């Protein structure tokens, strides 16, 4: 009995360690004194954060990732929300198939979608006689693809929990459909939309597979810049960059959790 319970506790602790230790490790190493990582360190410093910012591939990578993620979120979340509303509220034919199509970018592996998109962009380049690979619009287009399934999923879930009686009451009291949407439906959907924005931003910000072939010289996203650096070495500078990404994700999750209980979304 106690042996079983002890084994159970041990297994739980071990699993959480496997998930969390690498993340904690990166944060810890970003503070190490020596450039060549060894244990234990001789001391701690914040010097590497300045160093990371001074490296142009990380600074521009960060700026590009933020811009791409913001634009993809700003475009993708309204599109996804509109699609979720339409799926839930209108009587369009082949709803199931369309729903599956919209979740498609989640189901198709990043390698396959990424290479297909790369070939497609090159084809467009030939037709338009203009660069698409390695440009901002090219990256944003790819990343909108990431934001749609998340938005459709999260907003559909919050539409299901929505009481239609309130909307009917507003309509009965004389509100026009647009007013009902703006004053009743949208405010009730806000938690779902906030969560969709967070997931969309983070999915775009940390994406590697879909992005890998679509970046160009001087237009590299942060995860691709980190990957290229890591193929040669792992040092506190890289750890500092990674820690910044970790802190952004953590901050977004904490802020979002104030609007909507994240534990209920997934």
For 24, residues 6+ apart whose C-beta sits below 8 A from its C-beta are: none
From residue 148, alpha-carbon distances to 49, 74, 75, 177 in Å are: 34, 11, 9, 25
24 near another protein (CB under 8 A): yes
186 near another protein (CB under 8 A): no
115 near another protein (CB under 8 A): yes
113 near another protein (CB under 8 A): yes
As a whole number of angstroms, the distance between CA 31 and CA 134 comes to 34
Minimum CB distance to another protein, residue 165 (Å): 19
66 near another protein (CB under 8 A): no
136 near another protein (CB under 8 A): no
171 near another protein (CB under 8 A): no
Sole binder of another protein in the list 31, 68, 139, 145 (CB under 8 A) = 145
Sole binder of another protein in the list 21, 169, 186, 251 (CB under 8 A) = 21
Sole binder of another protein in the list 8, 130, 136, 216 (CB under 8 A) = 8
- Listed ranges 29-37, 54-62, 66-74, 188-196: which one lies at the site for another protein (CB under 8 A): 29-37
The residue count for binding another protein (CB under 8 A) is: 86
Taking Cα atoms as reference points, which of 264, 136, 149, 123 lies closest to residue 203? 149
Report residue 33 as tokens.
Answer: 């004194």
Angle between helix 95-107 and 136-160 (nearest 10): 130
From residue 67, alpha-carbon distances to 43, 51, 76, 92, 263 in Å are: 36, 22, 14, 35, 28
As a whole number of angstroms, the distance between CA 136 and CA 121 comes to 13
Q: Are 189 and 84 contacting, i.e. CB atoms less than 8 angstroms apart? A: no
Where in 228-257 is the site for another protein (CB under 8 A)? Answer: 230-231, 234, 238-239, 242, 245-246, 249-250, 253, 257
Sole binder of another protein in the list 46, 120, 137, 216 (CB under 8 A) = 120
Sole binder of another protein in the list 61, 80, 191, 192 (CB under 8 A) = 80
């Amino acid at each position: 009995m106690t042996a079983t319970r002890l084994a159970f506790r041990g297994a739980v602790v071990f699993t959480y360690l496997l998930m969390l230790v690498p993340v904690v490790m990166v944060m810890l190493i970003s503070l190490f004194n020596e450039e060549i990582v060894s244990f234990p360190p001789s001391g701690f410093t914040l010097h590497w954060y300045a160093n990371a910012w001074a490296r142009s591939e990380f600074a521009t990578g960060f700026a590009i990732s933020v811009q791409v993620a913001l634009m993809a979120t700003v475009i993708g979340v309204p599109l996804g929300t509109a699609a979720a509303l339409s799926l839930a509220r209108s009587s369009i034919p082949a709803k199931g198939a369309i729903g599956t199509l919209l979740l498609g970018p989640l189901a198709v592996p990043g390698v396959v979608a990424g290479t297909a998109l790369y070939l497609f962009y090159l084809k467009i380049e030939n037709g338009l006689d203009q660069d698409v690979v390695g440009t901002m619009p090219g990256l944003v287009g790819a990343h909108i693809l990431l934001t749609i399934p998340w938005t459709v999923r999260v907003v559909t879930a919050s539409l299901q929990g929505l009481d239609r009686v309130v909307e009917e009451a507003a309509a009965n009291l004389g509100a026009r459909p647009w007013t009902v949407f703006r004053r009743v439906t949208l405010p009730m959907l806000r938690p779902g939309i906030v969560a969709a924005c967070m997931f969309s931003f983070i999915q775009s910000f940390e994406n590697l597979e879909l992005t890998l072939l679509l970046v160009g010289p001087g237009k590299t996203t942060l995860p691709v810049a980190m990957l290229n650096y890591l193929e040669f070495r792992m040092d506190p500078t890289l750890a500092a960059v990674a820690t910044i990404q970790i802190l952004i994700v953590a901050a977004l999750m904490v802020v979002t959790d104030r609007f909507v209980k994240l534990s209920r979304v997934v």
